[in-house]
Amino acid sequence: MHLGVNIDHIATLREARGVLEPEPSLAALLVEKSGADSLVVHLREDRRHINDNDLFVLKEVVRLRLNLEMSISKEIVGIACKVKPDQATLVPEKRKELTTEGGLDVIKNFRRVKSAVINLEGEGIDVSIFIDPDRSQIKAARGIGVRMVELHTGRYANAKDKKGAERHLKELRIAAEFAKSLGLHVFAGHGLDYNNVLGVTGITEIEELNIGHSIIARAVFVGLGRAVKEMKELVS
């Protein structure tokens, strides 16, 4: 199983002081050196962490697959088409949310999502859609024509007890199996950490886990390189 590392919160720390450091591109190089399989960043409409310049710099300096999380707004789609990341992952976005809340509702936003996918794929960008582990959402994503989906693991990660975690883990397993049966590549992420990630690694249909906050939080105490290596060992 592969590991994608999200470095948004390196930029969050920079923006807290409105200065130039820490520099996301330097963090990206360290993530690359430490064994990650892809680099993940989210260009939000409010630019609360990663900004446009970061994207262009990362595209130039990083050899890892660059996975850009993004909304389906025309502005962001336009920027992505200029940067040309290796992969774009379409996610929902609310201005006041602390972090992404749930998966993108493909059924409700079918036309807008399809338009974004067509524009991005037209520039040679692979497109994934971040969705809840729900059969109808998976079918809708497949109907749009994407080749990959990322399952939202938040309900599992935030479960309040063992019984709830087991129920949501089963939900993820069933969803991954269904997505795979439709010919989709399956990724997963959100809220995963060093304590709960092993449950998800047992789902063989999932090819990659995308993890950010817990790795950056651990890096405060052990360093970014070691934090990435420890998570890579768990995921592998």
The residues carrying an active-site annotation are 42, 69, 190
Residue 50 and residue 25: Cα distance in Å, rounded? 11
Distance of alpha carbon 152 from alpha carbon 133, whole angstroms: 6
CA distance 133 to 222: 33
Q: Is 206 helix (H, G, I), strand (E, B) or coil?
A: strand
Closest C-alpha among 47, 65, 57 to residue 23: 57
What residue type is assigned to position 149 of the chain?
V
Sign of the CA dihedral with 27 first, then 28, 32, and 36 last = positive
One-letter amino acid at 108 equals K
Q: How many residues does the chain have?
A: 236
In three-state secondary structure terms, 9 is helix
Question: How many C-beta atoms lie closer than 10 Å to residue 18's C-beta?
Answer: 6
